[in-house]
Amino acid sequence: PPEPLQEHFDATIAHDRRIEPRDWMPDGYRKTLIRQIAQHAHSEIIGMQPEGEWITRAPSLRRKAILFAKVQDEAGHGLYLYSAAETLGADRADLTERLIEGRQKYSSIFNYPTLSFADVGVIGWFVDGAAICNQVPLCRSSYGPYARAMVRICKEESFHQRQGYELLMTMMRGTEAQRAMVQDAVDRWWWPSLMMFGPPDDASPNSARSMAWKIKRHSNDELRQRFVDMTVPQAEKLGVTLPDPELRRNEERGHHDFGTPDWEELTRVIKGDGPCNAQRIQRRRSAHEEGAWVREAATAHAAKQAARAAK
Ligand code: FAQ
């Protein structure tokens, strides 16, 4: 790269200033950002499915309206993120193609089934809670459009998390059967939620580079620890048991010690072999194909408007 441009980029990062779309940036920086932002966008869009399945089966009108709004927010997050990727020169249609052809990833967590309505609460509590831990630091990410998108997304995620916790509080005040449903959902979602933070630091090929570029601000293990520390007192208050016999407060470290997630399971799920991978992609593909007429109509409408404006 021409030296003054690289120097300017390095200085911008060193001074914690933002890189903006028109600034020069190394190819690797651009590629890493497109990879991470696209994966993040795909996660929001695929993430609509597990909870979306419960919209028609929500136990009351109030719960249905809340869930509808939450799933709609996720669509919004996906769209902001695709827009952020477009500022780097990516093409949204191309990113969608890559997702449905299995050439780009999305979060492992959305490949697990939602077996009861308690899962909706636990997703809000754990999955949105994990998303907040991971994304609050991304509000200070070095790439301007990504960092700014995160600000609004985090506000909405925090609302989603409270929604989940409140749902679970209500169920825990209910019948014995309802409490058992909550505990069962906690047992199934705990370990997959810890896996959302990615592989352990010594097996995370992208972390060092992304942290040097200040795209990521903390390592996968640091954020996982933060999530465990945040969640343990919430579990106590709720009255559920987290399914990890090794979980205990370590006064010396000032953190909770916890067991090791099944990393082979994470690898399998990322590679496409989780409980719901095929179903999630199949549904995304058919929604895309069935929406073709909407895209065609919108394009025709835009062309007509442009022609009218040019007259
Ligand atoms: N699942 O070297 P690293 C949400 C991949 S929250 C699948 O550590 P990196 C909100 C990784 O891409 C969920 N793949 O990678 C919501 C890489 O593969 P590649 C989305 C994973 O990027 C809530 C390889 O493994 N959040 O949607 C996973 O430095 C409720 C090696 O890993 C974000 O995307 C995984 N769990 O760190 C919606 C946050 N972990 O690309 C609906 C932004 C790792 O080299 C309902 N992303 N991989 O082929 C990030 O912070 C990072 O990308 C990490 C991974 C931390 C996920």
Predicted structure pTM score: 0.96
CA distances from residue 222 to 17, 26, 164, 198, 201 in whole angstroms, order as listed: 24, 27, 24, 11, 9
Express each pLDDT in 69-105 by its tens digit.
999 999 999 999 999 999 999 999 999 999 999 999 9
Asked if residue 141 has its Cβ within 6 Å of ligand 1, the reply is no
Distance CA 58, CA 67 (A): 8
Counting ligand 1 atoms within 8 A of each CB, the residue from 109, 206, 218 with the most, and so the one to mutate, is: 206
Q: What spacing in Å lies between the alpha carbon of 220 and ligand 1's midpoint? A: 10
CA distances from residue 284 to 94, 121, 273 in whole angstroms, order as listed: 14, 24, 17
Distance CA 98, CA 224 (A): 28
Q: Which residue minimizes the CA distance to atom 5 of ligand 1? A: 198
Distance CA 220, CA 16 (A): 21
Express each pLDDT in 218-253 by its tens digit.
999 999 999 999 999 999 999 999 999 999 999 999
Checking ipTM against 0.95, whether it exceeds it is yes
Distance CA 308, CA 104 (A): 39
Q: What spacing in Å lies between the alpha carbon of 307 and ligand 1's midpoint? A: 43
pLDDT band for position 1 (50/70/90)? low
